[in-house]
Amino acid sequence: MKKTFLTLLIIWFAGNMANSQTPLTPEKLWELGRVGTPAVDTKQENIYYTVKHYDLAKNKGQEQVYTTNLKTKAIKKITDIEGGIGNIIINPVSGKIGYVHKGQLWEMNPDGTAAEQTTKFENKISNVKYSPSGDKILFTYSLSIGEGKSHDDLPESNFKLYNDLMFRHWSSWNDNTHSHAAYASISDAKNGKGLIDIQGNEPYDVPTKPFGGAEDLIWGPDGKTIIYQCKKLYGFEYAKSTDSDLYSYDLESKETTNITPKNRGYDSHPVLSLDGKTLAYLSMKRDGYESDKNNLMLYSFTTKTRVNLTVEKDITVSGFAFGAENEIWITSPDQGTYKVWKLSHNGSKATTITSVTNDMADYRSVIVLDKNLLVSKMSMNRATEWFLLDGKSKEQVAVTTVNNEQYGSISKSKIESRRIKTTDGKEMLTWVIYPPDFDSSKKYPTLLYCQGGPQSMVSQFYSFRWNFQLMAAQGYIVVAPNRRGLPGFGQAWNEKISKDWGGQSIQDYLSAIDEVAKEPYVDNARLGAIGASYGGYSVYYLAGVHEKRFKSFISHCGLFNLESWYGSTEELFFANFDIGGPYWKIPKPKSYEAFSPHKKVQNWDTPMMVIHGGKDFRVPETQGMEAFTAARSMGLKSRFLYYPEESHWVLSPQNGVVWHREFFKWLEETL
């Protein structure tokens, strides 16, 4: 009798829990906390990390520091500071917790008490790291290099004057301000003195703009050197090349040595081995190809030689950390998810690479502890949290639970992995995301999601804009194919898109939507296509070739006219490699005539919503304006959502909510 009652109680409780769950909304999405990368204390007993929460009414976010005890899993918030805070580091000698606040380094006790400002430099600093001896800090700061504004006798004039390219980059105009690597002793830094810039008067940036960070610079063996990544090119040469190198700066001699002078592609992410004898880093071989295979390299400080551990493996490495001797833990895209792998090597090449994670989730970062791994994990139903992962048993335990309460009341989407045949007989992994209350006896409007990049895998990512859980919660089925040109399916699959933007990848999109549309629960009268960047380009291109499949389109920051885009974008290496070069090249690259969406506007017959940011210099705003003008001139129902202060992304909370509200309003009107 007791057993029966307990069973009924469990069923009642589970039913009520299910009933208490509600669909995700744009407002709820911005209520979720965003957890930062943790730092581990010297005893490996606690981790320290930031959590950022947004205040929609104030239209801003605030980070605070939390700590989790790795044994008890007890979580505690240890700061309550107004203003920006981040860059959590731990002094290896004193055990003090360091963080950057108001552009300076502060330190506090492990329990959050006795916080005090440690540096008092005139310039704001960031990307701070303690030396192995704990008495110095490595950091970056900004300084102006070059001529100031001319025509001082005309104080009301307002102009920008340039003699070379890279006059603007992603979302910022070049104002001759550069980020440099520097170091100082803590004793001097407390008095605002002793800042030693290791780059002198170089007009180059560390970290690399715009996506570089603390991973770009580290302390070398015994803290006697500093190793940093830098792309030491300027103007037109910078615009057409990806040739960044790793440099070693000697604190005693003040001399700088290029560690990777012969490689012409990206060299990045320097990491020192546990014994300090070896440097590992990521390396791309080809100059100008930003999505080349990332190989894992080992460089010996003793012999000055290097080896490529993954040259014979058809994988691209996204992150890594040293483990025991001849053991490196890596993260890498594979078949629709980012996995953690154990790489064993003999000093010259990888002998085995074994996956440690195989669940439907993305593992983007790995930190090696004595007995476990600390890994970040996300999925389409849950934002990033950190877990302890046993590399042998593969068991894992959550050590951050930032959004447990919120997700307890948010209904989840069903995620399905399908293999779909393409027009050339290949198999393509396609994610299908269903509404939380999916009923196969009903019919649902369905969205084809077109991925950007173009070389960026459709994985189990949790986006705060292109959020599949949110789309499904509004009653849409989402079809997200890993079309040609995405990593994780071999290098040949990844490279197929270059110079073929409107070719096989577009056919892959159509194969995916056509196959899923065969299902009885898909309403073929209500199909839409959506995407950003290359995904936005794909939407424009599909609008000219879809043969009435779709009833609605939404393009965010998409490329519309490849000729005008080439003449207004900044990093020309991307256009040169993927499009084939400038439009005045003889013979003219095929892309401009065959694959530019503006060449097919005469076929547009479907409502089009265009979204663009005024500070998007990678895909300038005029691309969206041209597309909107074309759509409206064709007599189509059209809408232009413009953000003067946003760039290639939408980053402010209230603009983000407007984005989602207008996104779903358009779909309601057109589907």
* Strand ranges, E, within 239-336: 245-250, 256-258, 267-272, 278-283, 295-300, 306-308, 319-322, 327-334
Instruction: Give the H or E element holding residue 447.
Output: strand 444-450
Q: What is the DSSP letter of 589?
A: P
Q: Write phi, then psi, for 31 (nearest 5 degrees).
A: -85, -15
CA distance linking residue 543 with residue 448, whole number of Å: 13
SS3 334: strand
Residues 491 and 291: beta-carbon distance below 8 Å: no
Q: Write phi, then psi, for 7 (nearest 5 degrees).
A: -60, -45
Residue 361: other Cβ atoms inside 10 A: 22
Q: What is the DSSP letter of 601?
A: G
State the chain's maximal CA–CA distance in angstroms.
94
The reply to whether 250 belongs to the active site is no
Residues 202 and 649: beta-carbon distance below 8 Å: no
- Catalytic residue selected from 216, 245, 334, 616: 616
Residue labelled with tokens 């004057």: 161
Residue among 220, 41, 252, 199 nearest 133 (CA)? 220
- Catalytic residue selected from 533, 538, 638, 647: 533
Residue among 446, 557, 431 nearest 483 (CA)? 431
Instruction: Give the H or E element holding residue 511.
Output: helix 504-516
Residue labelled with tokens 């400002």: 117
Residue among 485, 481, 520 nearest 502 (CA)? 485
For the four alpha carbons of 50, 51, 54 and 58, in that order, the dihedral sign comes to: negative
CA distance linking residue 494 with residue 79, whole number of Å: 44
Residue 223, CA distances (Å) to 138, 160, 217, 226, 306 in order: 10, 42, 12, 7, 21
CA distance linking residue 171 with residue 67, whole number of Å: 34
Residues 555 and 609: beta-carbon distance below 8 Å: yes
> What amino acid is encoded at 381 in this protein?
N
Residues 428 and 511: beta-carbon distance below 8 Å: yes
CA distance linking residue 129 with residue 181, whole number of Å: 11
Hey, which residues does 641 pair with through a beta bridge?
A: 611
The reply to whether 648 belongs to the active site is yes
Q: What is the DSSP string of 387-434?
A: EEE-TTT--EEES--TTHHHHHTBPPPEEEEEEEE-TTS-EEEEEEEE
Strands lying side by side in the sheet with 104-108: 85-90, 97-101, 104-108, 116-117
Residues 472 and 450: beta-carbon distance below 8 Å: no
The reply to whether 616 belongs to the active site is yes
Residue 446: other Cβ atoms inside 10 A: 23
* Strand ranges, E, within 109-240: 116-117, 125-130, 136-144, 168-169, 172-173, 177-185, 196-197, 217-219, 225-230
SS3 113: coil
CA distance linking residue 582 with residue 182, whole number of Å: 39
SS3 535: helix
Catalytic residues: 533, 616, 648
